[in-house]
Structure formats: structure tokens, C-alpha cells
Chain A
Amino acid sequence: MNYLWAFVIGGLICAAGQVLIDLTALTPAKILVLFVTGGVVLSAVGLWEKVAEFAGAGALVPIVGFGHTLAQGMARAVAKEGFIGIFTGGFSACSGGVGASLLFAFFIALLTKPKSQS
């Protein structure tokens, strides 16, 4: 059941992104920013964790889930470290995904060369 919800919710979020690309003048970069900040807001109002409970990765793998992770991390940091948490919360929360991307990107860049397209 979780797999079905992951597919449906994840797919719908992506389809919504496609609608924005095709029907508005928004560039992909702007849509990503919209989705990630939207994720922070949806998480802050307590909605996204509820979606994540039944859709699992369907709510977390899209970039909206990245915003959710950021907001959750911030809430944890402020609860634990108080004022300092405001500065550390965001980056600590996204450090896993960003750190992994950075690591892979560096070594892939060392080992490969861009290919032409056709």
C-alpha cells in the first residue's frame, strides 16, 4: 500500500511541476525554488509530516521533501540549541543530501568527461 501511495503522491508532485513548466513562464530553477520553499511552509504548518506518514518516499523524495527535512531540522535545532539553532538548523538538516551530492559530483568529475548529445 505504501508503495502505491509513494507512486501516486510522488508522481502527482512531478506532474504538478510539469504543468508549471508547460503553462507558465517559470524556469525549472524557479520551480525548484518554489517547491523547496513551499516544502518548508507545508512542513512548518504540520501538513507534510502527515503526507509523509502514508506516502513515505512519495512525499520525501521530491524536492518538497527537501524543504520538509530543512524545516524539521530547524525545529529540532531550535528546540535543542535555542538561539544558535537558528543558524545551524538549516545546514545541518540538509547536510546529508548536499554532502552526498558534493562528494559524488567531485569524484565523478575527476573520472569522467562530458559527452555530446544527439
Chain B
Amino acid sequence: MNKVITFQKPVYINATSCVGGKKESEGPLAAGFDSLCKDDYFGMDTWEKAETEMQKRSLRLLLEKCGLKAEDVPLAFGGDLCDQITSTAFAYRDFPMSFLGQYGACSTMAQSMAAAACMVGAGYVQRAVAGASSHFCTAERQFRTPLAYGGKRTPTAQWTVTGAAHALLSDRGSGPMITRVFFGRIVDLGITDANNMGAAMAPAAADTIKNFLRQAGRQVDDYDRIFTGDLGKIGSTLLKQLLQKEGINLHNHQDCGLLIYDMENQNVQSGASGCGCSGCTLSAYIMPKLLKKEYKKILFIATGALLSPTSSMQKESIPSIAHLVEICAGEGDI
């Protein structure tokens, strides 16, 4: 059974950063991004290099915000959706810190933050970076079809965010802080449709939320908001239905996959997805509200569908996971 980890001394989020592409620059959260590039190639010649460049830009911005040099940070956790998480690993060529690559599909941001928080919280390192990225074009060519291929998207499909996000966690500070983390377990309720990831991931989110609340002795009402990563319209509906069956009324829920794009006008079907979705929404939308104390206490739960193109072709169902990070706005809000 997975266990909630409670920090004796909170881990501070000194700063977050995020970088997005063209579609993100046209979405409702555009103003919250630190940098947006109208060219999804980010000046590079392949999509993979573009994603690496995006990560580098976000990392540089993060360090700049904290007034730190790469040498000042001993440890980084991060990942993306590309095979062997190359986009992330290649970005750290320029950042000389211990690097621990993470793969949690779209849950990577929460996984990295939770892992980094544990290392900082335990006192092994003073600071650590956590990050994640996704790029619409690297994901399409790897998981679906070539970009120029003509295909109709199903109403259940989700749009991979082109974005990179990072957070700097430290054992000192004053601002928003991580007080608990909960690493999810694999949940699979038999969904096989790779174009309906929200449905595949909702049970993992429900499992994590239910067990966290029970173990931590908390209620839904203790939080101003409970954010999930990228369940989209369908996944969000299913999450609420699943928790209702467990007697939990998730009335203060928002999904990052429904926040980052204009659901009416940006042609994204069921919503957004990708590691960048929850990461960028955290940095562009949630963090500013924590800093302004609009939220005193929130849960950030990123969900991942752990499938591969091979597993889909072999008709395996989609195992999913959801990692949880509890964030408080300040010392008085714990």
C-alpha cells in the first residue's frame, strides 16, 4: 500500500517557470507564461531539438528568477514524453547538476516535484529542480501519425501541450510550500482506447485522492482547490462519478487540461494533455494565486497514462498513475 509522506519541515517552492508554444500563446493562460514562442520549432530544425530548447529556456528563466547559477543547484528531477526522455536529458547537457530522469507520462511534473521535495525535505540537498515538458509535434510523430497526415480527431481526444515547466524547491524561503506528497500506484480499469486517455486516467486520480484523504485525515473542504493534471472533460466527469461512489463530493475540482486552452474556440476536443499541461498550468495559473494568497491550500495531482505505441498495438489496456503534491500558501496555512 502506498503511503503519504508528510514533511516535518516544509519544502519551499522558491520559484517556478514555464515556456510555451504558439497555441499556448493564444490560450487563456498566455499572460502567465514567462516566455512564449510563436514558432513551434523554437528556432531549431527538428521537433525534438525544439523541445530540448524549450526546456533549456525554462531552466534558464527559473535560475534567473532565483538569482542562482546552474552550479548552485546540486540536483534535478525531470522528464518528458519522448522515447528515453531525450528532450530532458539533452537539455541538462548545459546544466551541470545530478540528473535523475523521470518517466510518469503526463504525471511527470508532480512525480518530479514530489521526488525532489523528498530529497530536500530529508536534508540530503539544500535545493533541487523539478521539471517536465511535452511538445505537440514530438508526441504526434511518436504516438500518433505524421503531422501532415490527414485524420479526424475523435471527440474524446486530447491536445498535447507544447510547453516546459520547472520549479525550484529549497529548504528555506517564505512563499508557497510543499507539506505532503503522495506517490500514486498503478491503476488499470481496462480502458484500451488510446484516444480516450482521460477515461484511462480518471481511476488513478480517484484512487490517489481517496487514499490520500483517508491516510492524511483530510477532507475535500480542507482545500481551496483540488487540481488534476490532464483528465479533460471526460476524465473529469468520470473522476467525480468515481469519487461520488466512495462518498466523496469533489466540489472544488479543476483540471489543468480544461484551463490551458479556450475549450470553445481552440479545437482541442476533450481538453489538453501532456507533461507540459499540468506543469505550465501550475506555474502560469496556480502559483500566482498561491502567491497572492487567493488559495491557502491546494492539492496538485498530475495523472499519467503509462502506455506506449507498442503496448497499444498489442491491445494492452492502459495502466495509469496519479501523483499528489499538497501545497500551502504560507506557514500559517499548514
Contact = CB atoms under 8 A, between A and B. Distances in A.
Contacts of B137: 114, 116
Contacts of A113: 45
Interface of A: 21, 28, 113-118
Nearest to A112: B148
Contacts of B22: 116, 118
Interface residues of B, number: 20
25 contacts: A21-B152, A28-B151, A113-B45, A114-B47, A114-B137, A114-B141, A114-B146, A114-B147, A114-B148, A115-B147, A115-B148, A116-B21, A116-B22, A116-B40, A116-B41, A116-B136, A116-B147, A116-B162, A117-B140, A117-B147, A118-B22, A118-B23, A118-B26, A118-B266, A118-B267
Nearest to A118: B23
Interface in B193-212: none
Contact of B136 (A21, A28, A117): A117
A90 B148 CA distance: 29
Contacts of A114: 47, 137, 141, 146-148
Interface in B137-186: 137, 140-141, 146-148, 151-152, 162
Contacts, number: 27
Residue with the greatest number of chain B CB neighbours at <10 A, chosen from A113, A116, A117, A118: A116
Residue with the greatest number of chain B CB neighbours at <10 A, chosen from A21, A28, A114: A114
A38 to B, nearest CB: 21
Interface of B: 21-23, 26, 40-41, 45, 47, 136-137, 140-141, 146-148, 151-152, 162, 266-267
A113 B147 CA distance: 10
A30 to B, nearest CB: 12
A116 B26 CA distance: 14
Contacts of A115: 147-148
B135 to A, nearest CB: 9
Contacts of A118: 22-23, 26, 266-267
A21 to B, nearest CB: 7
A113 B50 CA distance: 14
B138 to A, nearest CB: 11
Nearest to A116: B40
A90 B41 CA distance: 42
Residue with the greatest number of chain B CB neighbours at <10 A, chosen from A28, A113, A115, A117: A117
A67 to B, nearest CB: 21
A25 B267 CA distance: 23
A115 B41 CA distance: 9
